[in-house]
Amino acid sequence: MKTGLFCNYDNHHQDAHRAIFEQVALVKQAESLGFEEAWVSEHHFSESNLSPSMLVLMGHLAALTSTIKLGTAAVLLPFYNPIRVAEDIATLDNLCNGRLLFGIAKGGPFPEQNKHFATPMGESRAQMLEAMALIQKLLYETEVSFNGQYYQCDRLTIYPKPLQAQIPVYVATGDDDGVGFAAKHSFGLMGGPPFSLHRLRNTVAKYRALNSSGSENLVLTRFFYVARTYDEAVTEALPFIRKFSKKMTANAAVVMQKSSTGHKAFDRTNICFDEDFLIENSIIGDVQTCRDRIKKFQDELNLGTLAIKPSACDLQKNLESLTRYNQEVRNYV
């Protein structure tokens, strides 16, 4: 199992410049500790998470790092022209000397994003899958012609081509169509912090029924904070967890209210934003608690990467927590 850092560019102190460079400090720390990967999220219209221009941020990280792989977690494909995404991804792979990992998602539950990018929520999954099919051709083929429902091109070749022979691709999905698409292409899967273990087990089982050779590439993101005692860890992480819970619960309510397509309920068997659920399903606690929870995820899911999201609101405490993880947790699971 590889260790990754999950990068949300959290604006804890209402200071955008500070938030951006505190995240850089965490990535540099992760690289110095030997973490294999750093995954950058994409958020729009958010005062809390300052990563709308994710690929720009990753170009910056590419220049400041040398060994850690850099992953998109994830490019929200329905909001972009896939031809441009293919050009940007190929360029970024060259900038980071072949260290790029390419995660994709449909976006959500953030109705404002779909509204302002003029992308109906009911069509976003189909757009994501079609966009990725086109991107995959553009990255590695020449004279590409494509005639999809949403996207078209005629005898198109993009330049530059990626440095890697095949950039690893990961799909954030639990939907049957998305899992089937990932399995067909042997792409990896991604699971976020609110995804229940029940949902993740089902997703992996669906994948393995179709393809036995790719599900070990699962990237699981979990909120994280390790301290000397369980109570100390929970106390330190709780302000962040509570803010996240309130924001996502409100978003989920809007999604369910507007849904006309039978959107699956947000609950403890699927995706849950309850504060106590998030703490119980995160890697937050003393050293032994964190070891036990990681071991459980490993045993249940055969993880490829555990991407941990430091959950204190103080940079120095997050740096110390990453060091404690490296010294007292990582090699014991």
List, for residues 266-302, the tens digit of each pLDDT value. 778 889 999 999 999 999 999 999 999 999 999 999 9
CATH topology of domain 2-332: TIM Barrel (3.20.20)
**Cα-based angle 30, 31, 34 (whole degrees, multiple of 5):** 90
Mean pLDDT of 241-263: 78
Q: Is the pLDDT of residue 173 over 80?
A: yes
Instruction: Assign 64 a pLDDT band (cuts: 50, 70, 90).
Output: very high
Distances (CA, A) of 94 to 88, 99, 227, 299: 10, 8, 39, 36
| 8 A C-beta contact, residue 291 and residue 332 | yes
pLDDT over 90, % of the chain: 88
pLDDT for position 1: 94
Torsion angle of C-alpha atoms 269, 213, 186, 107, degrees rounded to 10: 20
Rg over CA atoms, the chain: 19
Q: Residue 17: exposed, middle, or buried by beta-carbon count in 10 A (0-12, 13-18, 19+)? A: exposed
Using DSSP's 3-state secondary structure scheme, residue 4 falls into strand
CB under 8 A, 24+ apart: contacts of 255-259: 255/108, 255/109, 255/111, 255/121, 258/111, 258/121, 259/121
pLDDT (tens digit per residue) in 206-226: 999 999 887 679 999 999 999
Q: Is the pLDDT of residue 143 over 90?
A: yes
